[in-house]
Amino acid sequence: MVDLKGSITPLVSISCMTYNHAPFIRQCLDGFLAQKTNFPIEIIIHDDASTDGTKEIIEEYTSRYPDIIFPLLQTENQYSKGQRGIMSRYNYPRCRGKYIAICEGDDYWTDPFKLQKQVDFLEANDDYVLTFHDFNVVNDQGQLIDEDPLEPDQKKDASQKDLILGTRMTMPLTLCFRNLIKEFPPEKYKVTNGDTFLISMLGQYGKGKWMGDKIEKAVYRNHSGGIWSMVNQKQKTARQVTTYYWLYRYYKRLGKLGYAIHWYIKILYVKLMKDAGKKKK
């Protein structure tokens, strides 16, 4: 298929966000370009006004692969201006693929057949909306600090309820999902960890497939400059509470699942109070 731009329409769009990822972005992009597929892909990048040379590296790769890499290079940092849902605002609307895979610029894939395996499954199973798999965690220097962090009860397929309630833990860099959501609700732009909101919305369309050891582990980088990894556990819990609050508001507005989401918010709130050493009121 050829789109209006005259290029072949990709089956998969890889969505990548970067900010000051100069030490890591080459490894990330090389992981994308190493994918062996029988279908075309595109790489959609949003750089949030990096100041460390990330922008120049992206431009270098774009000049080498102009038909595959499509960057949006900000001149002002949108996150510092209060913008949330960066990927939903600037990347997903540009994704032309039937499927979307996520990987931020400081993480990377190790399996050259990752996308082929995930897409093959989704093409053959209409009742599944997404696939996910395992990952390792490394530090700034690439040293392994957490091998196989998922608990055993997370390593299984996810029901629609699991996805909607956000009770299945994974990392965005393992996801490949159907490009079904063309417009996100205003509630999503109130939260920091938007991947939980995304997975919950995708759960309205189907189940999640755990690919297990069929795919080599992707690599999540825990480093001092990471938006999520640089915050402490109390801050992470607070952000989770905020996410579930807005999920509750979203489903309440739709008239769906508000009660269940409400109880999940309460559970996380109690945990937050316990972490803060305060009594539950």
What pLDDT is attached to residue 7? 66
pLDDT digits (tens, 9 = 90+) for 97-125: 999 999 999 999 999 999 999 999 999 99
Cβ atoms within 10 A of the Cβ of 47, count? 24
Question: What amino acid is encoded at 224 in this protein?
Answer: S
Contacts of 275 (CB under 8 A, 6+ apart): 233, 234, 237
CATH number of the 12-229 domain: 3.90.550.10
Q: Where are the alpha helices (DSSP H) in 125-190?
A: 160-165
Domain segments of the chain: what residues?
12-229, 231-281
With CA atoms as reference, report the closest residue to 38 among 92, 144, 146, 117: 117
Beta pairing class for 99-102 and 12-18: parallel
What pLDDT is attached to residue 109? 98
What pLDDT is attached to residue 107? 96
pTM of the entire structure? Answer: 0.90
Q: At what angle do helices 258-275 and 233-254 cross, to 10 degrees?
A: 160
Specify whether the backbone of 97 is left (phi greater than 0), alpha (psi in -120 to 50) or beta: beta
Q: At what angle do helices 233-254 and 194-202 cross, to 10 degrees?
A: 40
User: Of the ranges 124-128, 153-157, 223-227, 268-272, which is most confident?
Assistant: 124-128
